[in-house]
């Protein structure tokens, strides 16, 4: 007998949102306002006239000075809302405190140890103003870079908003990265000020962030001041003349602060992400277009209304958190839940308890979390009243149909459509996604958002009818990244030169007969481990920086929960012998160089790595071997015998 899932997939049944949800959705109302009667009609109209679409949505935000042109497109360089004066913080905070939203809760924050804090828009506005004044007092000016190395505590959005308010450019570094990764990013951005915390909680343990970062602070020559938030109460050493406590510097500050009117195209933040080389890429986003893109998608895809409680269970250290925990929800004026810790700590009730406790109505998470909870079993969500939910979301990696069905059935009680949204750090906003009025297929990200011209092409750039190919975007969108920080050539080379003037996403996808998109994974040497983007080259260079290691090759191995796990093969220098202890030391070393998320799940010591005759490590062969795929023709390798030996590491 077919399982329920197999039956559904065989039927190719479409899942449709309820009539009620569709009728009352923001997208339906928005279309009705323009006399548009179907989503297909909107897609057509927006495709024909993208500037009309984005102009209308940009007008829903407040501009200090109106823009003259919606778009200037000189491929691959776009400028949106040119000539407009704008500040994202004016839209996220200042305008709300002039309305009834002033007393609305902006964030409900829950610490891992159970502590709860609520901040209204008014509270948040005041705290941001005080921090902005403090930063100005420290000499931070428009265009200066500030590094923010904080966990999921309220000071993180406050610090980001304070920077943006005065026109400084923030660079948030994920708190799961270790000090070396922080140092590399801080030096690349030449930051003047950095903000960190004494310590934070993860699975009941205190992670001493300040102590970790102390190792590298003297090697960041541009750094003048380090601001430290007191959170876990862990002991820290404060260096006189450089280190200041957050509480002390904001204490006496004025609660008002003038927001800096920025040019629409002025940089808002740099967020480093992994590419195919060992050097992270500083993705640059700007105030105007970024705000319009993320606001539009949150409003139309996740359909947020004033009465919603929104929980995007990502970390602000990644783009998902920047766009959909900090900026877009605040621009929309909704109440968000923010949670400090692990979703299954102290037990698998935690995630469901939070949804129940705060009556979360729209919930956005990653497939890896769904698969983790699938493993724990449906008894955990079933113990809780999840009836407040009306819409669900998924992001970060392909969601397999089994996980989709589990999420749909056991979390959404078959009532909540799942918005499986495809996008990237570079895109800033969701680009290929369902809407609450589109039919869904489990595992598909449905169709490109209005105006987005996405396609799947072969190596020559020709559209592919069937089968997988490169996912590309052929037209600009407002929240696209504008460049790579201090590396404009890499911006062009990495993304826009394979197919000139067309954006190469780095993903492989296919389009089915209904025009639905299916993302199949990365085409390049970038791994996706539990939704985190990790470059194989970065892990390799961390491994070879250990003195016992001669060479290293890192590939992804499919994993049921994490999507992929890091698998490494290492050759040792003369005089060093393989041992379990050395494996342990290597893992520790990678944790310190990059962070715990990059620590290899598998380390295999080998005498030799498969190589071409010119000495290049054949990662393609290693990858195939690890996945159990056919390794193909290896007769041209310099050392074909090394391939079989991968099965029997030392």
Q: What is the contact surface with ligand PRX in residues (CB under 6 A)?
A: 273, 318-320, 394-398, 420-425, 445, 505-507, 519, 522, 528, 533
Q: Which is nearer to ligand PRX, 149 or 503 (CB)?
A: 503
Q: Which is nearer to ligand PRX, 303 or 397 (CB)?
A: 397
CA distance 225 to 223: 6
Q: Which is nearer to ligand PRX, 144 or 315 (CB)?
A: 315
Tell which residue, 398, 406, 465, 469, has the closest CA to residue 432. Answer: 398
Cα torsion 519, 525, 528, 529: sign: positive
**Three-class secondary structure of residue 320 per DSSP:** helix
Q: Which residues of 89-113 are buried (b: 16+ CB within 10 A; e: fewer)?
A: bbbbbbbbbeeebeeebbbbbbbbe
CB of 283 to ligand PRX, least distance (A): 8
CB of 94 to ligand PRX, least distance (A): 28
Q: Which is nearer to ligand PRX, 151 or 275 (CB)?
A: 275
Cis? peptide before 76, omega within 30° of 0: yes
CA distance 87 to 64: 8
Contact (CB, 8 A) for 147 and 189 = yes
CA distance 325 to 318: 10
CB of 249 to ligand PRX, least distance (A): 32
Q: Which is nearer to ligand PRX, 72 or 627 (CB)?
A: 627
Q: Which is nearer to ligand PRX, 87 or 394 (CB)?
A: 394
CA distance 58 to 640: 59
Using CA atoms, how far residue 196 sits from 133, 468, 564, in Å, is 18, 43, 30
CA distance 411 to 396: 19
Q: Which is nearer to ligand PRX, 125 or 623 (CB)?
A: 623
Scanning 190-263, the segments in alpha helix (DSSP H) are 209-214, 246-251
Q: Which is nearer to ligand PRX, 149 or 324 (CB)?
A: 324
Which H, E and C letters describe 128-155, residue by residue? HHHHHHHHHHCCCCCCCEEEECCCCCCH
Which H, E and C letters describe 426-462, residue by residue? CCCCCCEECCCCCCECCCCCEEECCCCCEEEECCCCC
Q: Which is nearer to ligand PRX, 427 or 451 (CB)?
A: 427
CB of 563 to ligand PRX, least distance (A): 9
CB of 425 to ligand PRX, least distance (A): 3
Beta strand pairing call for 503-511 and 517-522: antiparallel
CB of 171 to ligand PRX, least distance (A): 16
CB of 533 to ligand PRX, least distance (A): 4
- How many residues comprise the chain? 650
Q: Which is nearer to ligand PRX, 291 or 445 (CB)?
A: 445
Tell which residue, 27, 64, 34, has the closest CA to residue 49. Answer: 34
CB of 518 to ligand PRX, least distance (A): 9
* Tokens read off for 192: 């003047």
Phi, psi of 109 (to 5 degrees): -105, 135
Using CB atoms within 10 Å of the CB of residue 575, give its burial: 0 to 12 exposed, 13 to 18 middle, 19+ buried: exposed
Q: Which is nearer to ligand PRX, 199 or 280 (CB)?
A: 280
CB of 481 to ligand PRX, least distance (A): 10
CB of 370 to ligand PRX, least distance (A): 12
Please report where in the chains the tokens 């620590």 appear, as a residue: 599
Q: Which is nearer to ligand PRX, 317 or 476 (CB)?
A: 317
Q: Which is nearer to ligand PRX, 46 or 271 (CB)?
A: 271
Q: Which is nearer to ligand PRX, 84 or 506 (CB)?
A: 506
Using CA atoms, how far residue 282 sits from 97, 169, 251, 285, 593, in Å, is 33, 12, 33, 10, 18
CB of 456 to ligand PRX, least distance (A): 14
Tell which residue, 518, 522, 527, 528, has the closest CA to residue 507. Answer: 522
CB of 396 to ligand PRX, least distance (A): 5
CA distance 568 to 539: 9
CB of 296 to ligand PRX, least distance (A): 16
**Three-class secondary structure of residue 235 per DSSP:** coil
Q: Which is nearer to ligand PRX, 36 or 494 (CB)?
A: 494
CB of 8 to ligand PRX, least distance (A): 19
CB of 297 to ligand PRX, least distance (A): 11
Residues 6 or more apart whose CB falls under 8 angstroms from that of 197 comprise: 149, 150, 151, 153, 155, 175, 209, 210, 228, 229, 230, 231, 232
Residues 6 or more apart whose CB falls under 8 angstroms from that of 306 comprise: 104, 333, 334
């Amino acid at each position: 007998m077919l399982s329920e899932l197999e039956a559904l997939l065989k039927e190719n049944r479409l899942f449709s949102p309820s009539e009620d949800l569709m009728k009352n959705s923001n997208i339906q109302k928005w279309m009705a306002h323009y006399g548009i009667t179907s989503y297909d009609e909107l897609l057509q109209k927006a495709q024909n006239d993208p500037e009309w679409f984005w102009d209308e949505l940009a007008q829903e935000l407040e501009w200090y000075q109106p823009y003259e042109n919606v778009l200037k497109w000189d491929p691959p360089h776009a400028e949106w809302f040119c000539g407009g004066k704008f500040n994202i913080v004016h839209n996220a905070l200042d305008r709300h405190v002039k309305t009834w939203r002033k007393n609305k809760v902006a964030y409900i924050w829950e610490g891992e140890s159970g502590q709860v804090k609520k901040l209204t828009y008014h509270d948040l506005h005041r705290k941001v103003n005080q921090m902005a004044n403090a930063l100005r007092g420290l000499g931070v000016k428009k265009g200066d870079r500030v590094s923010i190395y904080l966990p999921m505590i309220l000071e993180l959005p406050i610090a980001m908003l304070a920077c943006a308010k005065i026109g400084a450019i923030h660079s948030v570094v994920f708190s799961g990265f270790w000090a070396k990764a922080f140092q590399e990013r801080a030096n690349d951005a030449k930051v003047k000020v950095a903000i960190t915390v004494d310590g934070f909680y993860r699975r009941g343990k205190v992670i001493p962030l300040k102590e970790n970062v102390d190792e590298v602070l003297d090697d960041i020559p541009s750094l003048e001041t380090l601001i430290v938030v007191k959170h876990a109460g862990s002991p820290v050493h404060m260096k006189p003349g450089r280190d200041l406590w957050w509480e002390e510097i904001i204490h006496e500050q004025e609660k008002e602060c003038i927001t800096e009117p920025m040019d629409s195209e002025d940089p808002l933040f740099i967020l480093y992400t992994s590419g195919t080389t060992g050097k992270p890429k500083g993705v640059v986003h700007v105030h105007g277009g970024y705000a319009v893109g993320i606001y539009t998608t949150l409003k139309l895809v996740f359909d947020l209304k004033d009465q919603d409680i929104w929980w995007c269970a990502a970390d602000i250290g990644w783009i998902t958190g920047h766009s959909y925990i900090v900026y877009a929800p605040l621009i929309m004026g909704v109440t968000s839940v923010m949670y400090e810790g692990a979703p299954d700590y102290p037990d698998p009730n935690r995630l469901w308890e939070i949804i129940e406790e705060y009556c979360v109505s729209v919930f956005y998470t990653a497939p890896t979390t769904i698969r983790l909870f699938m493993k724990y079993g449906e008894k955990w969500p079933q113990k809780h009243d999840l009836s407040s939910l009306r819409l669900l979301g998924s992001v970060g990696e392909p969601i397999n149909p089994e996980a989709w069905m589990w999420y749909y059935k056991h979390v959404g009680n078959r009532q909540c459509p799942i918005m499986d949204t495809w996008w990237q750090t570079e895109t800033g906003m969701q680009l290929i996604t369902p809407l609450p009025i589109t039919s869904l297929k489990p595992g598909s990200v449905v169709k490109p958002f209005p105006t987005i011209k996405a396609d799947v092409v072969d190596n020559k750039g020709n559209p592919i009818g069937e089968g997988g190919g490169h996912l590309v975007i052929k037209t600009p969108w407002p929240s696209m990244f504008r460049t790579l920080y201090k590396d404009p050539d890499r911006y062009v080379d990495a993304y826009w030169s394979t197919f000139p003037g067309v954006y190469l996403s780095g993903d492989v996808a296919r389009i089915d007969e209904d025009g639905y998109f299916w993302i199949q994974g990365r085409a390049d040497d970038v791994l996706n481990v539990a939704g985190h983007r990790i470059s194989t080259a970065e892990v390799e260079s961390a491994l070879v920086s250990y003195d016992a290691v001669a060479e290293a090759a890192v590939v992804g191995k499919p994993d049921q929960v994490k999507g992929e796990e890091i698998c490494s093969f290492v050759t040792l220098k003369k005089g060093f012998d393989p041992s379990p202890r050395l494996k342990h030391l290597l893992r520790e070393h990678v944790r310190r160089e990059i962070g715990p998320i990059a620590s290899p799940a598998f380390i295999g010591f080998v005498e030799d790595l498969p190589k071409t005759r010119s000495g290049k490590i054949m990662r393609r062969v290693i990858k195939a071997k690890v996945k159990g795929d056919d390794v193909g023709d290896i007769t041209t390798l310099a050392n074909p015998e090394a391939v079989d030996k991968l099965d029997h590491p030392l």
